[in-house]
Amino acid sequence: MNLDPLWYVVIIGAAAILYAVMIPRQRKQQTGNQSEIVREVEETLEHFMDEIDQDNKELVQLVTQMKQDFVTQQNILGHRVEQLEHRCQQLELQLGQQAQQWIAQQQTSIAEEPIHSVEPSLTISVPVVEQQQITEPEPSKEDASIKGRYAEVFALYEDGKSIDMISKKTGIPSGEIQLILQLSKQEASRD
């Protein structure tokens, strides 16, 4: 089996042609694989960006809803506070009126109570020391009047201070201050 060198050249040439035909196919396959990989990566990134955009929109909607809920709740609480303040003012007025009625009832019951005269046979001898303690000097007319007892309240009121300001300065509840002012007007009308 003697092969001529020509046959060697033909076999090598055929191998070279086959190799030359196969190399571009491999390159096309590799290039096709690379372009496929790039396309898949781009699709994955686009999908990821869509998901992030959708999550951001949901987050913005959630924050907007929370803000609306907060504003609604704040409005409801503000309305309840206003109602409670109004109710508190009504109760203070009712308390002042009840106190006036109670004082008026006490005054009328004292005025209607009969004064019992003491019979001489029922007199009790009280030691001198106790008599001195019992007989204290009677308060002057100014101290007995409401203006005398609450001079600070009337001084602040005459200076133009509000009832709330007088209440804060003296520590007397505002309903009681209203009662004191009304009683002084009644006392002045009697005199």
Parts of the chain with a pLDDT under 50: 117-142
- Residue 29: what pLDDT? 62
- Residue 130: what pLDDT? 42
Within-domain flag for 131: no
How far apart are the C-alpha atoms of 153 and 166, rounded to whole Å?
7
Residue 82 near residue 74 (C-beta atoms within 8 A): no
On whether the pTM is more than 0.95, the answer is: no
Residue 148 near residue 142 (C-beta atoms within 8 A): yes
Within-domain flag for 98: no
Measured from the Cβ of residue 177, the count of other Cβ atoms closer than 10 Å reads 21
- Residue 19: what pLDDT? 79
- Residue 148: what pLDDT? 84
- Residue 13: what pLDDT? 83
What is the domain range of residue 33? 9-40
Within-domain flag for 26: yes
- Residue 149: what pLDDT? 86
Within-domain flag for 169: yes
How far apart are the C-alpha atoms of 39 and 47, rounded to whole Å?
12
Within-domain flag for 149: yes
Total tally of structural domains belonging to the chain: 2
Within the chain, residue ranges assigned H as helices are 5-112, 128-134, 141-144, 146-149, 151-158, 163-170, 174-190
